Structure 1
Amino acid sequence: MVAGNWKMNTTPTEGKALVKAVMDKVPNPSTKVVFGVPAIQLMEIQELVKGHPNYAVAAQNMHQEESGAYTGELSAAMLVDAGIEYVILGHSERRDYAGEDDDLINLKINQALKHGLKPIYCCGEKLDIRQAGNQEVVVGRQIEQALSSLEADQLSQVVIAYEPVWAIGTGVTASNEQAQQMHANIRRMITNQFGSEVANNLTILYGGSVKPNNAAELFAEPDVDGGLVGGASLDADSFAAIINAVRR
């Protein structure tokens, strides 16, 4: 899978042009391609990809409640009714700027799954944690708390995105070895919690300054199943090149 997280970028006009350009450049991708777009664009972008087996749309967030007096929020039912297939949850920017923790993210993941949405669950450590050598402990805690209440069949609908916070938007990318080490560790944790069949079929994406010049090497690692792409997903040529870097 290659998923693009546009964050708070592109107007609706720019977003439609971007998706059309990517689909023109890669009309039949060999992997699943997901556009994570601003809320105002969800339905229009969904119409553009509708009917294509390998293109899909993700919301960048959703509320944990069914409905209610939550001004400005989107519910899982709204997203499903609009034809949206995925929702990005647990992104470090939501953790930092909106104060979301793993317990809240767990509620959101369960709500998404209840309605048939597929969560793209983000986890990752900050620079001081990496420098102290505690990255596996921190990411392990994120995985355990956010996914604790799930059953094995539910986890098959979840995508995990490992995003070292120190590499998001900084131009610094984890080395191939660092990415592979953490992805393998995540797969081991899932094996211990849910069994080897679930873990082996789990999609684990790498996110953090993924670009055309490093995507192929990152994706070639045995436990890296694609990428969650930020800035490079806003350029049609760059995103198309990253999509084409997936060879399996």
Structure 2
Amino acid sequence: MALPIITPLVAGNWKMHGLLKDLEEARHLQALLTENPAQAEVLLCPPTTLIHPMTAMVRGGPVSVGAQDCHSREKGAYTGDISAKMLADLGARYVIVGHSERREDHNETSEQVREKALAAHNATLSAIICVGETISQRDAGWAEKIVLDQLAHSVPDGATASNTVIAYEPIWAIGTGRIPKPEDVAMMHQTIRDHLADRFALGDQMRILYGAR
């Protein structure tokens, strides 16, 4: 049986970097990809303040725009938060949920991540759901268990290949000086793929990203 053809996704998370003047970077990337088309979908996730102008700048071109987080509710008295519906209204097509910095710095649980992913789906956004283990968890031999637990509780039952992307981000490979071996990443990706294929009808077609060094 032929393997499904999956269009790769290359995503750039700008985190809390970028002012209006930095939109020129997106314009430059758009021009490069227009002249030299990539064999992948290219996505930029700038700060929320840049989503609308960036979307207007790259509309109709090879660059997609996404957001870095969303609230699980559509609206309400949640000062400082932004809903998935608002992000879609700005022109975003994707939203990252469950990033390690959100899980650690904001104490977000996998259950909260799942609710955010559901909110994204309801707003017609694709959710990029992040999973990954810490250095202590890997050294203790718990890496696979941790990631599988995150997948089980972070990915909603209604996830499909068209509305969900999984991003494996080994936290131990960020700022520690330790670089994962390609075979370690490949093994974890296979673990993730097996979980998705067992749980979802088209799980073998979901895209899996790697984020770290």
> TM-score, normalization: structure 1?
0.78
SS at match of 2:86: helix
Query: Partners in 2 of 1:204 and 1:171 — Cα distance?
Result: 24
1:222-237 superposed matches below 5 A: none
Q: Which residue in 2 is equivalent to 1:192?
A: 198
RMSD between superposed Cα atoms in Å: 1.4
Query: Partners in 1 of 2:157 and 2:196 — Cα distance?
Result: 11
Query: Partners in 2 of 1:101 and 1:81 — Cα distance?
Result: 27
Q: Shift of the alpha carbon at 1:129?
A: 0.8
Query: Partners in 2 of 1:64 and 1:136 — Cα distance?
Result: 27
The runs of 5 or more residues in structure 2 that have no matched partner are 1-8
Q: Which residue in 1 is equivalent to 2:137?
A: 129
Query: Partners in 2 of 1:186 and 1:176 — Cα distance?
Result: 15
Q: Shift of the alpha carbon at 1:170?
A: 4.6
Query: Partners in 1 of 2:78 and 2:11 — Cα distance?
Result: 28
Deviations 1:32-82 (A, max 9, x none): 000010011110111111112x31111001111110111111111111112
Q: Which residue in 1 is equivalent to 2:208?
A: 204
SS at match of 2:38: coil
Deviations 1:107-129 (A, max 9, x none): 10111101110001100000011
Q: Shift of the alpha carbon at 1:10?
A: 1.9
Deviations 1:134-169 (A, max 9, x none): 10000000000012x4235x4541000000001134
1:158-169 superposed matches below 5 A: 158-169=164-175
Tell me if the contact between 1:169 and 1:208 (Cα under 8 Å) persists in the aligned partners: no
- Higher-helix-fraction structure: 1
Query: Partners in 2 of 1:59 and 1:169 — Cα distance?
Result: 24
1:56-67 superposed matches below 5 A: 56-67=64-75
Q: Which residue in 1 is equivalent to 2:5?
A: none
The runs of 5 or more residues in structure 1 that have no matched partner are 210-248
Q: Which residue in 2 is equivalent to 1:25?
A: 32
Query: Partners in 1 of 2:46 and 2:66 — Cα distance?
Result: 7
SS at match of 1:63: coil
Deviations 1:180-218 (A, max 9, x none): 0000000111122114xx122110000102xxxxxxxxx
Tell me if the contact between 1:163 and 1:208 (Cα under 8 Å) persists in the aligned partners: yes
Query: Partners in 1 of 2:65 and 2:177 — Cα distance?
Result: 26
Tell me if the contact between 1:168 and 1:207 (Cα under 8 Å) persists in the aligned partners: no
> TM-score, normalization: structure 2?
0.90
SS at match of 2:163: coil
Tell me if the contact between 1:77 and 1:115 (Cα under 8 Å) persists in the aligned partners: yes
